[in-house]
Amino acid sequence: MMRIEIVKRPQHSALFSALSPFIALLLTLIAGAVLFSILGKNPVSALYSYFIEPLTEVWSIHELLIKAAPLILIAVGLSVCFLSNNWNIGAEGQLIAGGIAGSILPVVFPDFQGWYVLPLMLLLSMAGGMAYATIPAYLKVRFNTNEILTSLMLVYVAQLFLDWLVRGPWRNPQGYNFPETVQFNESAILPAIWAESGRAHWGFILALIAAVIVWFMLSRTLNGFEIKVLGRSARAGRFAGFSAGKLTFFAFLISGALAGLAGIAEVSGAVGQLRTSISPGYGFTAIIVAFLGRLNPLGIIAAGLVLALSYLGGEAAQISLGISEKSARIFQGIILFFVLASDTLIYYRIRIVSRLSDTALKGA
């Protein structure tokens, strides 16, 4: 009879702190290889098309950046939330709110053009995301309402609202009554980083900037300290004179703003018009990214790229090996499990004890 026992380490292990994401990735690769073998595919070529093939061409790397940008932007914001124990899982809704708010100028005032349009759109999108994130924050602080549930319910509401908007008032009058808005004018399009080689737009740069700023805030400012203290223990935070309510607002506002920014980056950079659905679940995948990046904004950049790769790899594997795209989603679930499990190693020692030695020990 075997038993797993865990013992708290006197202090957390710096070694495992650095290693745990890699352990998780390695375990995921092994699990993936097993999965592909069960499916009757050559695991080596499957893993090749998943994780290497998309990186072998320049255009595909551009696509990787496009896919990673919203994931990183959202996850960076979520890291502030999660570190401070605010469980915002409605980033998808905040992304949509940002996408809608940011599209007001090009859709409602298409004749309003100039260099200032794009910055205004970005600001509006952040305001939209923030406004939408304020709802669960306010309900949590004022009425003690569970933010997990309210933020999630608001996702459905936002999706339906966007659907109504694009099918109704904002529909392109010249578009055969199909559900899409007008194409954004030139000055409302987020430009490409390097147009000659591929489609990647400035959304990725924005994501990098956001990650660095939030990293600085978390690791070098009093604000960051407050977040971490209150996140670990609300009581300790109160003794130190920090206000949990204010912090809740702060965390939700940051993550709402970044999710909103991700929304407009997607709409204006990658698509060029508002449609009835603008995100294939980035707000949810970003939760994985945040944890895979160990809630550290710099780690999140790497994590966002890895997750983005799994999407592209899923397509490559579909084309070259006929592997179902569902495998990509399993990968994403598995990776989060392994990340969480590996994190245990940071704070705990794991011992596998057999019953026999246990009783022997007690006898002695």
Partner 1 sequence: MTMFEAILLTVATAATPLLIAALGELVVERSGVLNLGVEGMMIMGAVCGFAAAQQTGSAWIGMFAGILAGAASSLLFGFLTLTLVTNQVATGLALTLLGLGASAMIGETFVGLPGVKMESLYIPFLTDLPYVGKFLFGQDPIFYISILLTIGVTWFLFKTRAGLTLRAVGDNHTSAHALGVPVVRIRYLAVLFGGACAGLAGAQLSLVYVPQWVENMTAGRGWIALALVVFASWRPWRIFAGAYLFGAVSIGQLHAQALGIGIPSQFMSSLPYLATIIVLVLISRNKRLTLMNTPTSLGKPFVPDR
Partner 2 sequence: MKKLMMALTMAASFALAGSAHAADKLKVGFIYIGPPGDFGWTYQHDQGRKQLEKELGDKVETTFLENVPEGADAERAIERLARSGNKLIFTTSFGYMDATVKVAQKFPNVKFEHATGYKTADNVAVYNSRFYEGRYVQGVIAAKLSKTGVAGYIGSFPIPEVVEGINSFMLGAQSVNPNFKIKVIWANSWFDPAKEADAAKALVDQGVDIITQHTDSTAPMQVASERKIKAFGQASDMIKFGPETQLTSIVDNWGPYYVERAKAVLDGTWKSHNVFEGMHEGLVVMAPYTNMPDDVKKLAEETQAKITSGELKPFTGPIKKQDGSEWLKAGETADDKTILSMNFYVAGVDDKLPQ
- What is the rounded distance in angstroms from the CA atom of residue 47 to the CA atom of residue 39? 13
Q: Contact region for partner 1 (CB under 8 A) — 110-118, 142-150, 189-197, 216-224?
A: 142-150
In the list partner 1, partner 2, none, the entry touching 271 (Cβ below 5 to 8 angstroms by class) is partner 2
Give the residue with the Cβ less far from partner 2, 199 or 228. 199
> Residue 307: how many CB atoms within 10 A of its CB?
26
Coil, helix or strand at residue 176: coil
Q: Which of 61, 120, 127, 153 binds partner 1 (CB under 8 A)?
A: 153
Residue type, 9: R
In the list partner 2, partner 1, none, the entry touching 144 (Cβ below 5 to 8 angstroms by class) is partner 1
In the list partner 1, partner 2, none, the entry touching 177 (Cβ below 5 to 8 angstroms by class) is partner 2
Q: Which of 126, 214, 288, 308 binds partner 1 (CB under 8 A)?
A: 288
Q: Which two tokens stand for residue 129?
A: 């995301």
Q: Which of 7, 176, 241, 362 binds partner 2 (CB under 8 A)?
A: 176
Does the footprint of partner 1 cover residue 178 (CB under 8 A)?
A: no
Residue with tokens 């990214």, as numbered in its chain = 289
Q: Say if CB 190 and CB 182 are below 8 A apart.
A: no
Q: Which of 116, 191, 280, 356 binds partner 2 (CB under 8 A)?
A: 280
User: Phi and psi (nearest 5°) for 109?
Assistant: -120, 65
- What is the rounded distance in angstroms from the CA atom of residue 72 to the CA atom of residue 262? 9
Q: Say if CB 130 and CB 256 are below 8 A apart.
A: yes
Q: Contact region for partner 2 (CB under 8 A) — 55-63, 123-131, 209-217, 238-246?
A: 55-63
Give the residue with the Cβ less far from partner 1, 162 or 229. 162
- What is the rounded distance in angstroms from the CA atom of residue 300 to the CA atom of residue 306? 10
User: Phi and psi (nearest 5°) for 7?
Assistant: -125, 130
- What is the rounded distance in angstroms from the CA atom of residue 291 to the CA atom of residue 275? 30
Nearest approach in angstroms of CB 194 to partner 2 is 15
Which residues contact partner 1 by CB under 8 A?
4-8, 82, 87, 89, 139, 143-146, 148-150, 152-154, 156-157, 160-161, 163-164, 167-168, 284, 287-288, 291, 324, 326-334, 336-337, 340-341, 343-344, 348, 350
